[in-house]
Amino acid sequence: MDIATIGGLIAGFTFIILGILFAKGNPLMFWDPASVMISFGGSFAAILISNPLAKVMGAWKVARFAFFAPRINPNEMIITLVSFSEKARREGLLALEDDLDELDDDFLRKGIQLVVDGTDPELVRRIMETELENIISRHDAQRKLFEDWALFAPAFGMIGTLIGLILMLVNIEDKSAIGPGMSAALITTLYGAILANLVMQPVANKLELRGNEEVLLKLIMIEGTLSIQSGDNPRIVKDKLISFLEPAEREAITSEVGD
């Protein structure tokens, strides 16, 4: 569970409510079903128009990665690849076939299998990089749905405001209705702004972060697989792979596998 995402959402809505209370307002004054339908319902309808139905229906599965972080540990992956390098140098590349079933990651399993099968190194690189490009494309498409929603929500908030203003002007002869009418009209814009800036765009940003973490891990796998195939010294393999990490993380790897 990603405490930062969940805590951020809770904190955001809490601060908004506290702000209303400190301004001596009543949070219940900001509840308006019509505004909900226009801001949330209208922006969702725009998402349906803009994207295939299957993609929209799968958006909730994608969104969970913003709340529940997948287990991505570059340090463990580097240690695994260095151990594979040591085994390959000691027993030969074919010995790695015994470890294929223990690999949880399909991407790495495919790469090691290609190496064991004696595939040309350039072809191995091309296959793995093509797979990585497809992964990046899927991530971009999934993230774009939430970015689009963040774009549409304020627009439908403005549409709701315009509807409210029109209805207010229709009844402009009733002076007592102008204030409440204006207030109701602006609530829709508020809903659209909150949906976009506290929910959808932050979720899109977190998904981008998750995607970058996965891409980094896949790059480490590609470089490690090719280094193993070329018969590099395990120390060289380690030095190549830790170059992908932050300096503090490099020290942890060095203490684990040695110089």
Asked if residue 134 and residue 24 are part of one domain, the reply reads no
- Both tokens of residue 33? 């079903």
Which of 210, 241, 223 shows the shortest CA–CA distance to 79?
A: 241
Asked if residue 169 and residue 94 are part of one domain, the reply reads yes
Asked if residue 189 and residue 117 are part of one domain, the reply reads yes
Asked if residue 215 and residue 137 are part of one domain, the reply reads yes
CA 150 to chain CA centroid, nearest Å: 15
Tell me how many domains the chain contains: 2
Segment 103-107 long-range contacts (CB within 8 Å, at least 24 positions apart): 105/221, 107/131, 107/132, 107/135, 107/218, 107/221
- Residue 127 pLDDT > 80: yes
Asked if residue 49 and residue 12 are part of one domain, the reply reads no
Asked if residue 112 and residue 93 are part of one domain, the reply reads yes
Asked if residue 125 and residue 57 are part of one domain, the reply reads yes
Predicted local confidence at residue 180, as pLDDT: 63
Radius of gyration of the chain (CA): 26
Asked if residue 43 and residue 20 are part of one domain, the reply reads no
- Residue 86 pLDDT > 60: yes
- Residue 166 pLDDT > 90: no
- Residue 167 pLDDT > 80: no
- Both tokens of residue 251? 């020290």
Structural domain range at position 20: 1-31
Asked if residue 71 and residue 7 are part of one domain, the reply reads no
Asked if residue 182 and residue 209 are part of one domain, the reply reads yes
Predicted local confidence at residue 65, as pLDDT: 84
pLDDT digits (tens, 9 = 90+) for 202-257: 999 999 999 999 999 999 999 999 999 998 888 899 889 988 888 777 776 665 55
User: Residue 196 and residue 149: Cα distance in Å, rounded?
Assistant: 7
SS (H, E, C) the chain: CCHHHHHHHHHHHHHHHHHHHHCCCCHHHHCCHHHHHHHHHHHHHHHHHHCCHHHHHCHHHHHHHHHCCCCCCHHHHHHHHHHHHHHHHHHCHHHHHHHHHHCCCHHHHHHHHHHHCCCCHHHHHHHHHHHHHHHHHHHHHHHHHHHHHHHHHHHHHHHHHHHHHHHHHHCCCCHHHHHHHHHHHHHHHHHHHHHHHHHHHHHHHHHHHHHHHHHHHHHHHHHHHHHHHCCCCHHHHHHHHHCCCCHHHHHHHHHHHCC
Asked if residue 13 and residue 56 are part of one domain, the reply reads no
Tell me the average pLDDT across 52-60. Answer: 88
92 phi-psi bin (left φ>0, alpha ψ -120 to 50, beta other) = left
24 phi-psi bin (left φ>0, alpha ψ -120 to 50, beta other) = left
Confidence of residue 25 (pLDDT cuts 50, 70, 90): confident
Asked if residue 38 and residue 98 are part of one domain, the reply reads yes
